[in-house]
């Protein structure tokens, strides 16, 4: 079995859905499992619904209507007959969403987030499955929440691999096109959980691991894995072959083409990962597999914007030792703040972090009791794998460098501004 993942950009409109059909016609669809994200910017639109819900805003109904209107237009563009069963199926999902908004009693933001935002994937896969059937490709629509079981760490759930393996091995049919949702799972009480933003790649890897798949292909709007983001760097080049180790390094530092958690399960079973273009599906793209060298061996640039640079120094000029660092990292973990760079001296400790849950204000209150805290918001972290002097100059020219760290293979540079 092959596992394909299509992201939101690939199904953002009716033309995108039709293109997925065309891709499958070219590369085959028998014994394939499709993992599909929410359409276009639906996740962002549902986040606006969540905000209006918690703000008790009068705009809540219009926020929901915007999501409905967007999907209804796609349906009308795909299906000539508005009596098609897909309209009823999608309307039923929106009814479920509205019922939750009207009757939920939980004040837990992360719980509510997962219950609401999940409708993006449920709706997109329902539309795609009905369209494939309409075009003559028989599909099995799978509710991923019945397959991938997790703990109750909403918005960043951890997979129960044993139970998930049993569910997938027993219930996924072969020799048919399976369609399921990325990003989602469910806990022991069958409440919806999510695997972290951009977690659809991880979903594909979970299914591939449990099914002993032949390969995973992530279909993107780029030719494959590039050595730099073309939006920020001129002359970005395609990497044809990457080893698992190199891909994991790139993902760890924040390369956005491959989700950080995707590669470990694939490496364990030596399942190759391909990153290919849904615009030109017959191009070779990038292969990530065992023992493949990075070709060519050239600098790779990774950019992380909207970072926070924090500097902690001891109030009494005492050394910052292991005990201090341990307590600091414990707090980072508690407040779900991701550390991307560390640098310390005798009496100071600097970190570049990502505060995606907006918890730093609370953390700062605690840290300030024991340390002098200085911080700079909205900094940019550049990571250069296989750096050289020219690569460093490319990043540093015209920027204010706040911190630089160099190891054997990697250089990291923090600059002010975005």
Cα dihedral 98/113/185/225 (nearest 10)? 120
- pLDDT score recorded for residue 331: 97
What was the pLDDT predicted at 295? 61
**CA dist 100 → 45, 94, 117, 146, 398 (Å):** 17, 10, 12, 19, 51
- Number of helices (H), then strands (E), in the chain: 13, 16
Q: Coil, helix or strand for 4?
A: strand
Q: Where are the beta strands (DSSP E) in 127-170?
A: 139-141
What integer pLDDT is reported at residue 216 of this predicted model? 98
7 assigned binding-site residue: yes
Task: Per residue of the chain (418 residues), give pLDDT as tens.
Answer: 999 999 999 999 999 999 999 999 999 999 999 999 999 999 999 999 999 999 999 999 999 999 999 999 999 999 999 899 999 999 999 999 999 999 999 999 999 999 999 999 999 999 999 999 999 999 999 999 999 999 999 999 999 999 999 999 999 999 999 999 999 999 999 999 999 867 899 999 999 999 999 999 999 998 999 999 888 898 899 999 999 988 888 888 988 778 778 999 999 999 999 999 999 999 999 999 987 565 657 899 999 999 999 999 988 878 888 888 999 999 999 999 999 999 988 888 999 999 999 999 999 999 999 999 999 999 999 999 999 999 999 999 999 999 999 999 999 999 997 6
Residue 292 pLDDT = 58
Residue 401 pairs in a beta bridge with 415
What pLDDT does 12 receive?
98
Domains annotated on the chain, with CATH: 2-213 (3.40.1160.10), 300-415 (3.30.2130.10)
Residues in Cβ contact with 63 at an 8 Å cutoff, skipping those fewer than 6 apart? 45, 48, 49, 52, 57
Does the annotation flag 121 for ligand binding?
yes
Backbone angles phi, psi at 370, to 5 degrees: -120, -15
The pLDDT value recorded for residue 231 is 86
Q: Residue 5, annotated ligand binder?
A: yes
Tell me, what's the pLDDT at 315?
87
Q: Taking Cα atoms as reference points, which of 28, 31, 23 lies closest to residue 176?
A: 31
Rounded to 5 degrees, φ, ψ at 353 are: -130, 165
């Amino acid at each position: 079995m092959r596992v394909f993942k299509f992201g939101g950009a690939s199904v953002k409109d009716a033309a995108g859905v039709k293109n997925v059909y065309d891709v499958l016609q070219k590369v085959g669809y028998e014994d394939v499992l499709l993992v599909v994200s929410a359409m276009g910017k639906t996740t962002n639109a549902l986040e606006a619904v969540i905000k209006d819900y918690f703000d008790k805003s009068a705009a809540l109904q219009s926020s929901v209507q915007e999501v409905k209107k967007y999907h209804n237009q796609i349906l009308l563009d795909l299906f000539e007959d508005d009596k098609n069963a897909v309209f009823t199926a999608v309307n039923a999902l929106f009814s479920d969403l509205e019922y939750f908004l009207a009757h939920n009693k939980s004040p837990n933001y992360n719980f509510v987030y997962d219950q609401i935002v999940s409708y993006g994937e449920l709706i997109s896969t329902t539309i795609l499955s009905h369209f494939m059937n309409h075009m003559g490709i028989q599909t099995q629509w799978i509710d991923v929440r019945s397959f991938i079981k997790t703990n109750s760490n909403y918005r960043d759930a951890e997979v129960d691999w044993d139970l998930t393996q049993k569910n997938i091995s027993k219930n996924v049919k072969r020799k048919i096109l399976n369609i399921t949702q990325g990003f989602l799972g469910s806990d022991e009480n069958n409440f919806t959980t999510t695997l972290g933003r951009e977690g659809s790649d991880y979903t594909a890897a979970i299914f591939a691991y449990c099914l002993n798949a032949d390969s995973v292909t992530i279909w993107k709007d780029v030719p494959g894995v590039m050595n730099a983001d073309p939006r920020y760097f001129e002359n970005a080049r395609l990497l044809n072959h990457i080893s698992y180790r190199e891909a994991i390094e790139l993902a760890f530092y924040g390369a956005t083409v491959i989700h950080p958690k995707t590669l470990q399960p694939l490496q364990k079973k030596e399942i190759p990962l391909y990153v290919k273009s849904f615009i030109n599906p017959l191009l070779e793209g990038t292969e990530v597999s065992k023992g493949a060298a990075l070709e060519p061996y050239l600098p790779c640039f990774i950019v992380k914007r909207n970072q926070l640079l924090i500097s902690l120094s001891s109030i009494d000029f005492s050394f910052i030792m292991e005990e201090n660092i341990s307590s600091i990292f414990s707090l980072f973990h508690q407040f779900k703040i991701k550390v991307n760079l560390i640098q310390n001296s005798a009496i100071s400790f600097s970190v570049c972090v990502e505060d995606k849950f907006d918890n730093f204000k609370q953390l700062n209150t605690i840290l300030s009791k024991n340390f002098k805290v200085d911080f700079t918001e909205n900094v940019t972290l550049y990571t250069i794998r296989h750096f050289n002097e020219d690569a460093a100059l490319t990043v540093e020219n015209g920027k204010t460098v706040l911190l630089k760290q160099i190891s054997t293979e990697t250089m990291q540079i923090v600059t002010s501004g975005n």
